[in-house]
Structure 1
Amino acid sequence: MTGAVDTALVRDLTDDEARAALVCKWGEVEADVLPAWVAEMDYAVAEPITAALHRAVDAGMTSYPRPGGGGPLGAAYAGFAARQFGHDVDPERVVPTVDVTAGVRLALDVAAGPGALVMPVPGYSPQLAMAAITGRERRDLVVHPDDERAELDLDQLDHHFANGARALLLTQPHNPWGRVFTRAELEGVRDVVLRHGGFVVSDEIHAPLVLDGREHVPYLAVEGTAEHAVAVVAASKAFNVAGLKCAQLVTASDRLHEALVSAPMARNDSWSVLGVEASVAAYTEGDAWLDALRARLTAQRDLLVTLLAEHLPLARMRPVEATYLAWIDLRAYGHDDPAAVALARQRVRLAPGHDYQPGLTGHVRLNFATSPERLAEVVRRLASAVAPRAT
């Protein structure tokens, strides 16, 4: 992020606009419930994206997308990766898919050999089922709730690979930990994987959302990873366009690229032509909006820290280095499922911790990508629910 940031580029949706636009986040709750659960932002879509979509619809672009990799989408992502991450990506090795979860599944199916899948937990809840879906056993790489930094346990990772694991599903930046892994940490992962002939699928959907000027290091930008890794990226989280269904798989190897593009059509779920247009616009024209978004999210994260200190002083929130998702430990307030308590008592919906690690108690994931006023109300309601003051 360089130069002055035009924070006015990010506009809060009104409640009525949010209910119309965010049909899952706001539509799946009753009218009196304040939603802070699913990973969507309560912000209007960036103008370059809406303009591109209007042009596409006016041109009647409701057809199948063009098959194969590269093309305008590959060039757009390669340019974005160079500017945002300093990562040199071959545009021809950018392959579209319907979304990140489908991309992870495809990479495991066609590029990783058979064997158990290592999954860091707590982890993104839909991906907890990825091992079973791809016919594998899941081996959990557990981060203990009292581990303040939430670092990957490389000894535990080595143990899993030494005992039959074949692949690691790495989410970085991490959801729900909010961690940005350093180059040294990723080099440690690489060394373990190389020692055992393993494979990595790197889910980097939150990569544009690093805060405080931190560096996102793409796993494929680490020396020695080209032949054992596929990255899955998208504009969907950073630009709020998940419903347009277009993610991308990135490789740095001819062999792995060929494995992806030669997969049967039925294995790579069809992406959306409108998603391609939106992604190209985001990657080529969205930098200023993204700068403004990161400034807004930084302010929201800092506000959340202040609000928790005031209303829930016993809460422990992992430092949020990226994303707009806060992982909050509320065990001190004595509720196994504080998300359920908050919904029942104060009509605020958060994501329960056990969705990210089965059996985990006392945790919630809170989405702070909303207005300051809504965020303050979310915390006030949460505090009233789990730590009611004596009357």
Structure 2
Amino acid sequence: MDFDLTDEQSLLKDSVSRWASDRYAALERVEAARRQPLGFDPEAWAELAELGLLGLPFAEGDGGFGGGPVETMLAFEALGRHLAPVPYLAGIVLGGGALRLAGSPAQRAEHVPALAEGRHRFAFAHGERQARYDRADVALAARREGGGYRLDGEKCVVLNADAAQTLVVSARTAGGRREREGISLFLVPADAPGVSVRAYPTHDGGRAADLLLAGVRLPADALLGPADAALPVIERVLDEGIAAVAAEAVGLMDALHGLTLDYLKTRRQFGTAIGAFQVLQHRAVDMLMALEQARSMALYATMMASSEDAAERGPAVSAAKVQINRSARSIGQEAVQLHGGIGMTLEYLGAHQFRRLTAIEHLFGDTPYHLRRVSAAGGLPGAA
């Protein structure tokens, strides 16, 4: 299989890497962006729109640039390497992904150009407090009322919800709470009467919010995709999200490994650089092996994330997430131990990289959840 990048993909990789390196060359710049009211710099978001990055996953006919999973992987690896605090995952991959996969031509024509130009932002509201990682566990209710719908319920840990003008909300329109059938998606204006957004910072320096929808009334055309049959779209959106954060984690781990190697070469003890000690060299090599294992599985997730066959896509993406989680924990812990006390101080870049890797480990499902998902599918597709 050919893993070489095309000329266009190489240009994309270089341009995003150069942009992220220039804008977030120092931790102070990352922290300054995080202190903005919405947790990111609006000027940076506008620059990503100018680069074409916000329209990357959308079809050209809808106003996007016709990119695919490989282009998304390249973008996320570069953004992760430099800890770029932008709501790309929440707004473009998750919220925008639901629009791309389920939106009607009229809905895509209305929203995709605005998303691509950075004039509008989406957030994806699916998780609920009682659900943990069960994707079919939806209690928020959407009932027919007049010619539209009334939504009542709560969502939790909605990434970058306070920065969004439109919320893509999953709701139960039929069936019991854990049934796979009977889930629908809705486009909900963030300022609609009855919508309450309680925002807060996350452990890794990002932003999330809990949502309360109390008697939120929507017109019939707020329905995104077919009624009662949204779970396959939700599952694919979440699997594409896993592939994206897998690439982000590879960028983070690569940067953290490089930072650790530099420290081993410069930190001196007993009159010599500590990198001269063989036992520490072995541990640095272990970090590299974990990184390359994660990189291989991130590529695998990228290849499988766009598959329409859920039975093929699901276990493959979950297997990749298992390796990403294991490598992230291994590399993060080794980096802290090899740095000593400085590795845990928030004045040091490596500590922030480790915090983000820790958050990614639990985002979209922890290791036991994804191991169960692979096991329930009988292993990976094509495995003996």
Q: TM-score normalised by the shorter chain: which range applies?
A: under 0.3
- Comparing both structures, which one devotes a greater share of its residues to helix? 2
TM-score (norm 2): 0.27
Larger relative contact order (C-alpha < 8 A, sep ≥ 6)? 1
TM-score (norm 1): 0.27
